[in-house]
Amino acid sequence: MKTTSYWWEAAPRSQNNNIELPPSVDVAVIGGGFTGLCTALTLAKAGVSVIVLEAGVLGAGASTLNGGMLGPSFHKLGLSGLKAKYGEQLANNILRESLGFVDYLEDFLLSENIDADFSRNGRFRGALKPSHYELMATELDNLVKATGVEAEMIPKTQQHLETGSQLFHGGIVYHGDAGLHPAKYHDGLVKNVKQAGALIAPNTRVDHLKKNTSGFEVQTSRGNILAAKVAICTNGYTEKVTQDLRRRILPMRSAMIATNPLSPQLIKALMPKNRVYSDSRRIVAYYRTSSDGSRILFGSRATGLKDNPHANAQLLKGFMTRIFPQLSSESISHVWSGLVAYTFDHAPHIGQFGGGKEDGVYYAMGYCGSGVARSSYFGSKLGLKILGKQKSETAFDELIFETKPFYTGTPWFMPSILSWHRLLDRFGF
């Protein structure tokens, strides 16, 4: 069993692409995932000098490790929760903007000429209990009224047309959801960012940001760079170098497994419409076929914040075979994991640090485990914000990026919360 991302088989990570650092740039982007690359692309196309500084190899973060599953990621609080927290207008704006994320990414891939095996076959989300099915149906009515989302309830009697699992009590199909190959998408972005004139420096960790009169001295593991502005695009990997952001982020580890190739008949029986899949669990499970349709890729929360591949493989295989007992005797070819970024209000955040004061530190992060489409959209919006251009606004600009007293960035309380959630899921609450 390999302990690297299955996606890296078709799009291997390149190790030897270090570059010489320039003495100064207009903008230093920290983090070489989708957010950082999309920010850099927008800036470079506008003629701004920009460098992307990445601590690891290119694609070391979540952007090449994820399930490649795309959806609007409607807010966890649901429509009524959102309205209660933000009022009707902002709640509606957030949901409508979210509904556009997949279209945005599809158009972006086309206009950037990136072949990332994008396919839009919809998502089936199974209901673990009859009461979950009822809740889904009510929420769908509200969402259709608020956003016009294209979705339909699938009763238990029709469920066999959607999934080979007997576990569910019906579910919902979101017709607009999609999938892509995240590492191919990342490679395409890297190529286009370089072509647009930006520099990309892998293996270059930012250790310290020192404010000076004209901007920042960005101190890295490979030397210092002067930058007028800085964009922090580090999501689940946000470290002490930006402690003010770190204490607003709850890093969590998500893990995935890939099966060895399966027979086409078995795949067809389990996932008849080749959609992407998830369910109503608190600790969500997500699964799909590989881009070539030969394997099943299955993901969920990892055993803990530290990477523990063998324990993760065991945990995930257990989850997977509870959903699909037909896979009990199949072996696992890959297990891997990465960090995602939760936030205290379950929403992603974008803006300029210092509460709107002109201090030159911009950020976009906190995608709460659903960041492939969101990070691409937020990255390009962040680029526009740095340029001071129109159309940089998002409904998310108005959200306060909360922290909690005494929280410094280590979510010591999460293991007990996750264990409790696992227990509730196990017994179907």
Instruction: Indicate the burial class of 135 (C-beta count within 10 angstroms; 0-12, 13-18, 19 or more).
Output: middle
* 377 CB-contact burial (10 Å; exposed 0-12 / middle 13-18 / buried 19+): buried
Work out whether strand 50-53 and strand 223-232 pair parallel, antiparallel, or are unpaired: unpaired
Nearest to 298 by CA among 315, 314, 316: 316
Q: Which of 44, 68, 200, 384 binds ligand FAD (CB under 6 A)?
A: 68
Give the x-and-dash track for 5-34 against ligand FAD (CB under 6 A): -------------------------xxxxx
Integer-rounded Cα radius of gyration of the chain: 21
- Of the two residues 133 and 277, which places its CB atom closer to ligand FAD in the complex? 277
- d(C-alpha 37, C-alpha 29), whole Å: 8
The secondary structure element, H or E, covering residue 96 is: helix 88-99
Among 55, 109, 146, 320, binds ligand FAD (CB under 6 A): 55
Which residues from 241-270 bind ligand FAD, rule CB under 6 A? Answer: 241, 254-256
Interaction between residue 180 and ligand FAD (CB under 6 A): no
Minimum distance of ligand FAD from residue 405's CB (angstroms):
25
Which of 72, 126, 164, 236: binder of ligand FAD (CB under 6 A)? 236
Give the bridge partners for 252, in sequence order.
340
The pair of structure tokens assigned to 366 is: 């906190």
Q: Tally the C-alpha atoms within 13 A of residue 71's C-alpha that lie toward its C-beta.
A: 25
Tell me if 171 contacts ligand FAD by CB under 6 A.
no
Residue ranges in 338-367 that form contacts with ligand FAD under rule CB under 6 A: 338, 340, 365, 367
Give the residue, chosen from 173, 189, 190, 372, that forms a contact with ligand FAD under the rule CB under 6 A.
372
Round to whole Å and give the CA distance between 250 and 119.
31
Q: Does 289 bind ligand FAD (CB under 6 A)?
A: no
Tell me the window of 18-26, 235-243, 311-319, 399-407 that interacts with ligand FAD (CB under 6 A): 235-243
Smallest gap, in angstroms, from Cβ of residue 123 to ligand FAD? Answer: 10
Residues lying near ligand FAD in the complex (CB under 6 A) are found at: 30-36, 53-56, 60-63, 65-69, 205-206, 233-237, 239, 241, 254-256, 286, 299, 337-338, 340, 365, 367, 369-373, 375
